[in-house]
C-alpha cells in the first residue's frame, strides 16, 4: 500500500476534524515527503510512555494514537491480571483534555473502572491518586516541559509498583498490546461515558498529605521570607497556593503573565525552567517586589526551580544539584532526629554530594539510571532527586518527582533559616563547609539527525580522551558493557584525577547528547571554575 493510500485509511478512522483536514491537504497536494515523515513508523511506547509533536499520523500525537494507547493499556491490565481500574489526569496543553476523555471512554468501554480528574491538574496528582484510590494504573496526559506543540502520555502502575512509573519489561508488554490494537480500526472500539469524574475531595486529600510532610512554620506569615511564584503557563498554581497557604506559609506574589494555563506558552519559547531566559519574567517580578525567593514549577508542576538574591540586585537560579543537596541534607537530618534508617538516592548523572551526606548520617545511598521510574523504586527510600529539577521528598505520599511538595519543603527550610537569621545562601555555604565544596556543569548538543547521536557516542568509545583540561582521566566506565546494578545502557563515565567526573549520554526525551560534569575542590569558587573549564574541554567532543 502506498503512503497516500495509508494516509487515506488513517483519515477514515480519525475522529478529529483538524487532523483529518491536515492529512487530506497533504494527500491532495501529493506531499509524499511529509506523508513519509508521518507514516514511516509509529511512536514507540517506552518507559517515558509517548511524547511527540501534535499532528496527524502514527508518528505524531493525536486522537488515533492516544485511543490506540488507551485500548492497549486497558488490554494489558486485563491480560496481566492487574486491578482493572485507572485514574486519568491531564494538564493544560493543547488537546490534553480531549486525549484524557478519549482514554476514559475507551477504557470504560473495555470494562475498566475509570476515574477522570475534574480539571487540568499537576502530574503529581495522578501519581498520588494511583495510591490514594488503590487503582491498577494511572495515566497523565502531558508533555511536561517539552516545546509548546508537543504532548504526551505517561503511565503509572499501582499494586506492587506503588504508583511508580512503568519500567521494563512492562513497557514492552504495553507496547505489544498497543500494536495489536493499532492493526485494527479504532472505530470498532466500544466507548462509554459513564466513567467517574473525581470531585474536589481528591485534590484536598493530596493537599492534606503534602502539608503533613513539613512541620508548622516557626514564624508568623508576615515575618516569613517573601516569595514570587510562576506556573510557567502550566497547571501548578491553584494546587500550589492551596498547599502553601493551608500549611501556614505566606502566599506568593505571582507572575501574572504566566499564572494561568495556556497551551500556547506565549511568553516562553521553551517552557522549561532550566532553559536560558525561561525564568526572566519571574526574576523581574522578584526584583520588583524584593522577594527573598523565586520559585518556578514547570507546566505540569512535577519539577521545581529556585532562584535566590545574588547580592547585586538580581537573582541566581540554583542548579538542580544544589537544591537536591539542600533537600537531601534536610531529609537526612530529619531521619536522624526521628531515629530512622533508609536510603538517599539520585540518578547517576546527579551530583555525588548526596552520597557524602548519606555517609555522614549513616544512611544508605543508591545511584540509579536517569528517570524517576528508577529513583522512586529504590527500597527503603527516604529522599530521591535528579539534577534535572526533580525531587521526591516523601515516598510515603508519592512515588514520583513532585514540584509542589518540593517547593513546600523549601519554603519550610527558608522559614526555619529565617527564624535563626539565616538564608538559603547561608545554608549552601554551610553545606560546603560540612560536606565539601561541590559544583556541577552541563553541556548539551542538540541534533537535527538522530543518527548523529550514535555517531558521537561511537566516536567517544573509539577514541576515549586521556585528559580533559589537563586533568588526567583515571578510568573510563562504559555502561554498555554492563555495570553491577545497572542494565546495559548508552552511558560513558570518565573519572578524573582529584575526584571530578564527566558523564556523557543521549537524552531520553530530546534529540540531544548531554554531558554532566561534577567537581569537588577546596572552595566552591574553585569547584565552579574547574567545572567551567571541563565543560569547555568536553564541548568539542560532542559537537
Is 80 annotated as catalytic? Answer: no
The set of residues, in sequence order, having a beta carbon less than 8 Å from that of 305 and lying 6+ positions away, is: 273, 274, 279, 295, 296, 297, 298, 317, 318, 320, 389
Question: Cis omega before residue 169 (within 30°)?
Answer: yes
90-103 burial by CB neighbour count: b if 16+ within 10 A, else e?
Answer: bbbbbbbbbbbbbb
Degrees to nearest 5, angle at CA 139 with 75 and 126: 140
Ramachandran sector of residue 515 (left: φ over 0; alpha: ψ -120 to 50; beta: rest): beta
Question: Helix and strand tally (H, E) in the chain?
Answer: 17, 22
One of 85, 96, 144, 537 is an active-site residue; which one? 144
- Give dist(CA 473, CA 541) in Å, integer: 15
C-alpha distances out from residue 517 to 195, 352, 428, 520, Å: 48, 11, 19, 10
137 phi, psi to nearest 5 deg = -160, 160
Contact 333, 363 (CB under 8 A): no
The DSSP secondary-structure symbol of 54 reads B
C-alpha distances out from residue 502 to 342, 351, 357, 441, 491, Å: 28, 11, 21, 9, 11
Active site (catalytic) residues:
144
Amino acid at each position: 500500500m502506498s503512503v497516500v493510500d495509508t494516509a487515506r485509511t488513517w483519515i477514515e478512522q480519525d475522529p478529529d476534524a483538524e487532523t483529518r483536514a491536515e492529512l487530506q491537504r497533504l494527500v491532495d497536494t501529493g506531499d509524499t515527503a511529509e506523508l513519509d515523515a508521518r507514516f514511516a513508523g509509529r511512536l514507540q511506547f517506552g518507559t517515558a510512555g509517548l511524547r511527540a509533536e501534535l499532528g496527524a499520523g502514527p508518528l505524531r500525537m493525536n486522537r488515533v494514537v492516544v485511543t490506540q494507547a488507551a485500548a492497549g493499556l486497558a488490554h494489558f491490565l486485563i491480560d496481566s491480571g492487574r486491578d482493572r481500574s485507572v485514574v486519568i489526569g491531564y494538564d493544560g496543553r493543547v488537546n490534553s483534555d480531549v486525549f484524557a476523555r478519549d482514554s476514559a471512554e475507551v477504557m470504560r468501554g473495555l470494562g475498566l473502572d475509570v476515574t477522570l480528574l475534574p480539571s487540568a491538574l499537576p502530574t503529581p496528582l495522578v501519581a498520588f491518586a494511583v495510591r490514594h484510590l488503590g487503582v491498577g494504573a494511572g495515566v497523565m496526559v502531558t508533555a511536561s516541559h517539552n516545546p509548546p506543540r508537543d504532548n504526551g502520555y505517561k503511565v503509572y502502575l499501582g499494586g506492587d509498583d506503588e504508583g511508580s512509573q512503568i519500567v521494563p519489561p512492562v513497557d514492552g508488554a504495553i507496547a505489544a498490546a498497543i500494536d495489536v490494537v493499532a492493526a485494527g480500526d479504532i472505530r470498532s472500539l466500544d466507548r462509554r461515558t459513564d466513567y467517574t469524574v473525581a470531585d474536589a475531595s481528591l485534590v484536598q486529600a493530596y493537599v492534606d498529605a503534602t502539608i503533613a510532610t513539613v512541620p508548622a512554620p516557626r514564624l508568623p506569615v508576615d515575618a516569613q521570607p517573601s516569595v514570587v511564584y510562576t506556573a510557567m503557563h502550566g497547571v501548578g498554581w491553584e494546587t500550589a497556593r492551596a498547599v502553601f497557604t493551608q500549611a501556614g506559609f505566606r502566599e506568593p506574589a505571582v507572575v501574572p503573565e504566566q499564572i494561568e494555563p495556556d497551551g500556547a506558552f506565549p511568553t516562553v519559547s521553551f517552557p522549561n525552567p532550566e532553559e536560558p531566559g525561561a525564568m526572566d519574567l519571574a526574576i523581574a517580578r522578584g526584583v520588583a517586589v524584593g522577594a527573598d525567593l523565586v520559585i518556578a514549577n514547570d507546566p505540569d508542576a512535577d519539577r521545581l526551580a529556585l532562584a535566590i538574591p545574588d547580592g547585586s540586585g538580581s537573582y541566581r537560579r540554583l542548579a538542580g544539584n544544589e537544591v537536591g543537596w539542600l533537600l537531601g541534607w534536610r531529609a537526612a537530618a530529619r531521619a536522624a532526629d526521628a531515629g530512622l534508617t533508609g536510603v538517599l538516592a539520585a540518578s547517576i548523572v546527579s551530583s555525588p554530594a548526596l552520597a557524602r551526606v548519606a555517609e555522614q548520617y549513616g544512611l544508605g545511598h543508591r545511584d540509579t539510571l536517569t528517570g524517576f521510574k528508577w529513583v522512586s523504586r529504590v527500597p527503603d527510600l527516604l529522599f530521591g532527586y535528579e539534577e534535572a529539577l526533580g525531587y521526591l521528598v516523601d515516598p510515603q505520599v508519592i512515588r514520583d518527582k513532585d514540584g509542589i511538595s518540593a517547593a513546600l519543603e523549601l519554603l519550610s527550610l527558608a522559614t526555619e533559616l529565617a527564624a535563626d537569621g539565616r538564608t538559603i545562601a547561608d545554608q549552601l555555604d554551610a553545606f560546603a563547609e560540612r560536606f565539601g565544596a561541590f559544583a556541577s556543569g552541563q553541556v548539551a548538543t542538540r541534533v537535527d539527525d538522530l543518527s548523529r547521536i550514535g555517531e558521537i557516542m561511537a566516536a567517544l568509545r573509539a577514541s576515549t580522551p586521556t585528559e580533559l583540561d589537563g586533568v588526567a582521566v583515571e578510568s573510563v566506565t562504559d555502561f554498555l558493557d554492563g555495570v553491577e546494578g545497572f542494565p546495559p545502557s548508552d552511558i560513558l563515565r570518565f573519572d578524573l584525577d582529584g575526584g571530578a567526573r564527566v558523564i556523557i549520554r543521549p537524552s531520553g526525551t530530546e534529540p540531544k547528547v548531554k554531558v554532566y560534569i561534577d567537581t569537588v575542590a577546596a572552595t566552591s569558587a574553585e569547584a565552579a571554575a574547574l567545572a567551567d573549564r571541563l565543560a569547555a574541554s568536553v564541548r568539542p567532543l560532542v559537537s
